[in-house]
């Protein structure tokens, strides 16, 4: 919600949740390359060495690494308590929402105070 209110180019932010062992991940190739580079690097003595190893994991086109500091992270747990996000379990139809049944959550710039959700659709095999 904060990003939507501050960024002029964003209109919507959505989070999609996949079932365990299902879904897509654009980072699989990156993760594989970094894992291989870590194996080749051997013993690592300083965490600062990781930046170089990560950047050079794909030698043809080195990854661009943006190092983060402690103040780059937000305490989302306390923010969610302040905003009472986990207490907001009732939809417009007043039916209680089970967080495990949510497939997607999204917030739009035009409705910053509302978290929209899409439920998981259960597909049943019908026998004739």
| Residue stretches of the chain with pLDDT short of 50 | 128
Identify whether the C-beta of residue 107 lies closer than 8 Å to the C-beta of residue 100.
no
> Would you state the pLDDT for residue 44?
92
Give Dmax over CA atoms of the chain in angstroms.
63
Give CA–CA dist 30/122, Å, rounded. 32
| pLDDT tens profile 15-48 | 887 765 555 666 678 888 899 999 999 999 998 8
Identify whether the C-beta of residue 21 lies closer than 8 Å to the C-beta of residue 118.
no
Pick from 60, 26, 55: nearest CA to 38 = 55
Give CA–CA dist 107/116, Å, rounded. 6
Give CA–CA dist 101/89, Å, rounded. 12
Secondary structure (3-state) at 34: helix
> Would you state the pLDDT for residue 113?
80
> Would you state the pLDDT for residue 93?
62
> Would you state the pLDDT for residue 55?
92
- What ranges make up the beta strands (E) of 3-123? 12-16, 102-108, 111-119
The residues near 62 (Cβ < 8 Å, ≥ 6 apart) are: 55, 56
């Amino acid at each position: 919600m904060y990003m939507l209110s501050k960024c002029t180019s964003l209109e919507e932010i959505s989070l999609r949740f996949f079932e365990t062992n299902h879904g897509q991940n654009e980072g699989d190739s990156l993760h594989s390359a970094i894992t291989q580079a870590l194996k080749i690097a051997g013993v690592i003595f300083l965490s600062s060495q990781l930046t170089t190893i990560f950047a050079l994991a794909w030698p043809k086109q080195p990854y661009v690494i943006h190092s983060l500091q402690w103040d780059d992270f937000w305490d989302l747990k306390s923010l969610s308590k302040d905003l009472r996000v986990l207490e907001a379990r009732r939809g417009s139809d007043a039916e209680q929402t089970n967080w495990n049944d949510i497939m997607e959550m999204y917030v739009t710039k035009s409705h910053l105070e509302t978290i929209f959700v899409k439920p998981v659709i259960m597909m049943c095999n019908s026998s004739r």
